[in-house]
A and B are shown apart, each in its own frame.
Chain A
Amino acid sequence: MTDKGFVVLDNVAKRWKGQLGVENITLDIEEGSFVALLGPSGCGKSTTLRLIAGLEAADEGHIIIDGKDVTHAPSADRNLSMVFQSYALFPHLSVAENVVFGMKVRRVSKAERAERLARALKITGLEGLEARKPGELSGGQRQRVALARAIVAGKRLCLMDEPLSNLDAKLRASVRKDIKRLQRDLGITVIYVTHDQTEAMSMADKVVLMKSGHIQQVGSPADLYDRPANTFVAEFIGAPPMALIEAPVIGGAASSDILGLRAEHVRLAEPGAGRLTCTVAESEFLGAETLISLSHPGTTGLCVLQPGLAPVEVGTEVSVTFDDRDIHVFDSEGRRREAV
């Protein structure tokens, strides 16, 4: 295991006075990949990242970066850079001074500092703002300074903790592309924390979905979407999330099973001709399509998508149908059953 990945976490755990932070974290990250740590608030994403960065000490397990066991090494020896959620820019230093701070500390020559600074500012589009203090920048610009500071270090591993959470939706989409492009161009490994699944799904080669300090599933975005390992993943990934149906409602599988169904696989049927008759709970116009939420005893999150503006009166009885091959089956514990 240890000679495989660029970053390897082996059964890592972190607790505070017995209170759980994260547990059983086992990860294998290849060099040059973009890995997203995804999960709801408080699930331990930041803790995992901080363990890798050496800002927290692991209570159990091993952390290996580039073949070296760094479990007990200080941050400085781990050869990585980090973008903080809060940016952590030095408020009294100008943009340029912030970016070159680390190089100064490491005694990089003046000429090289200037050259690398210029390149980092160019990549992040910060030219002309060198002399500004962080307080005189917009949130997006600050974010890019933090990014510039991380890439100027030239480290092969870059950790990012929700770097886009303070930006507005539009800026977020554009910076997202920038980060992805940067990662690909520089060929660096990025571990990226986010609670936004769109971010994770669109940027990452590999998504690590966490809940309450435990990893739920590791896989490509398509894996998580198409083969959720459990009902938590099923309900977390996708907008709208997967609907869960108790097996007896439609019959077929073992009666304690839970069936999962994505909205795009549900079709409206002729009244009485479908497999399930439900009541319309809500109609939501999303632009290209209308999302119709349905309620039926024994189901959660059941809905159907209709193209265009196609509202259905709340309370109407509708009949829906779907194919067996689109059904995901989970056992009573919520774990995925591979064969139906």
Chain B
Amino acid sequence: MARSINLDKKQQTIYGWLLLLPAGVLLSLFAFYPAVATFWSSLFSRGTRRRAAEFVGTENYTALFNDPTFWVVVKNNLIYAAATVPISIGIALAMALWANSKIPARGFVRTAYFTPTVLPMIAAANLWLFFYTPDLGLLDQIGGLFGFSSVNWLGRPDTALWAVIIVTIWKEAGFFMIFYLAALQTIPEDLREAANIEGASRWTFTRRIVLPLLMPTTLFIMVNAMINSVKLIDHLFILTKGGPNDASKLILYYIWEMAFAFFDAPAAAATTVIVLVVLCTVAAVQFFMLDRRTHYQ
């Protein structure tokens, strides 16, 4: 009896591992191995025709930390994350709450909100390029009606980063709204009715019942938004190319430049490793810290 149970357990374990195998293989091949390989190559110098690459230890990292551009880029990316993550989540939540209430043309509103998400980032960037273009762009045209002078939104160091941030928020909010909408639909209607009978206002109901029940979704979205704030740079290629004067350069664009414009693979590898470490830490902290205070149904 005991033996057969043991055997059963063993079989279950083998079964479990087999199920994990495909994902495990793919992840190792396309995620873990490249990460390790990147780390390894970040420890070597840049090989030239005359001098082969040689092991230099942390030299690439030291060089990186001494590069003022790196710090500019880090600062930009921090601002970028600090603005896009909370604002896009906030807008997504507000839109979802609105699109989930009993409004006319609800389906249309949802679709309208979702449209930016289905556009490729490059297309979205082109669209916004039209808005931002000095003199001819929509913004300047409208501004002109009120007598404002033309602004080169993408060409000025003090506005370029914010122009990029707005495009990202516009793109992401609709996507996150879909998650919130799905989560809102799992909240039973009778909770609202019970709260109504108790005399709770709409705001109280939202704050005390809806928001806590949306916490798992918020956590999920937050991790995604955080990762996206590093990952999503397609629009930079169209809008600013990181300029002017590095004012809108984000870390992944910086890595791309190093690797494919300046062909400095080891430096790019070192930066990538730093980004990976930071992202993993952030995700881990979010999951372990917030998870405890989150109610899952």
Q: Which residues of A contact B (CB under 8 A)?
A: 53-55, 74-76, 80-82, 84, 86, 88, 90-92, 101-102, 105-106, 133, 135, 149, 153
Contact = CB atoms under 8 A, between A and B. Distances in A.
A76 B196 CA distance: 6
Contact of A84 (B190, B198, B297): B190
A105 B194 contact: no
Contacts, number: 61
B193 A91 contact: no
B231 interface: no
Contacts of B208: 101
Range for the number of chain B residues in contact with chain A: 10 to 19
26 contacts: A53-B197, A54-B196, A74-B196, A75-B193, A75-B197, A76-B196, A76-B197, A80-B197, A82-B194, A84-B193, A84-B194, A88-B188, A88-B193, A88-B194, A90-B209, A91-B213, A92-B209, A101-B195, A102-B197, A105-B195, A105-B198, A105-B199, A105-B204, A106-B198, A149-B194, A153-B198
A149 B295 CA distance: 21
A54 B193 CA distance: 9
B119 interface: no
A49 to B, nearest CB: 11
Interface in B198-217: 198-201, 204, 208-209, 212-213
Contact of A101 (B188, B193, B198, B213): B198
Contacts of A86: 188, 190
A153 B196 CA distance: 13
Contact of B297 (A91, A105, A106, A153): A91
Given A76-B196, A86-B190, 10 more contacts: A74-B196, A75-B193, A82-B194, A88-B191, A91-B213, A101-B195, A101-B208, A102-B199, A106-B198, A135-B297
A133 B193 CA distance: 20
Contacts of B198: 76, 101-102, 105-106, 153
B183 to A, nearest CB: 13
Contacts of A102: 197-200
A81 to B, nearest CB: 7
Nearest to A105: B200
A91 B295 contact: yes
Q: Counting chain A CB atoms within 10 Å of each CB, which of B188, B194, B297 scores highest?
A: B194
Contacts of A82: 193-194, 197
Contact of B197 (A81, A90, A92, A135): A81
* 5 A-B pairs with least C-beta separation: A102-B198, A92-B295, A76-B199, A88-B190, A88-B194
Contacts of B212: 92
A133 to B, nearest CB: 8
Contacts of B213: 91-92
A80 B193 CA distance: 13
B193 A106 contact: no
A106 B199 contact: yes
A92 B216 CA distance: 12
